[in-house]
Amino acid sequence: MSRLYDRSDLAHAFATFLLTHALETEAALIDQLVGSAEQRLRRTLLRLARIENLGADSGTISNVKQETLASLVGTTRPRINYFLNKFRKRGWIDYGRQVGLGTIQVHPKLKQAEEEES
């Protein structure tokens, strides 16, 4: 603890990290309480694919299982499967045999759909 007192730059970085983490946790809790599972899956895919803005290229998520997505989103694997198929039919993502097993290709159209709904 004394290192935080001795080094103001370290103390500032640590405080920034804690505040950022607290805000992200609060946003995730609010999203869990008021957002639908479909909205949470869209946001999770965008975050994992690191698609930051509308002009970004497609992002790829490798080695992801539906069970993992279900636990991140807070729903069941069958619902994740349903939403992934729905997203694929709308042209928002590609997954499965098209891009390789365990890989999801996220298109910027998913970000546009998220922005339009907000």
Q: For residue range 43-88, what is the model confidence (pLDDT) as tens digits?
A: 899 888 887 655 566 788 888 899 999 999 989 999 999 999 999 9
Query: For the residues 93-99, what does the mean pLDDT come to?
Result: 80
pLDDT at 28 over 80: no
Contact 72, 83 (CB under 8 A): no
Q: Return phi, psi of residue 52, to 5°.
A: -90, -40
Confidence at residue 57, expressed as pLDDT on a 0 to 100 scale: 67
Confidence at residue 53, expressed as pLDDT on a 0 to 100 scale: 55
Q: Quick one: pLDDT band at residue 29, thresholds 50, 70, 90? A: confident
pLDDT at 10 over 60: yes
Tokens of 9: 């730059």
Global confidence as pTM: 0.71
Task: Say how far apart CA 28 and CA 53 lie, in whole Å.
Answer: 20
Tokens of 92: 């928002």
pLDDT at 2 over 70: no
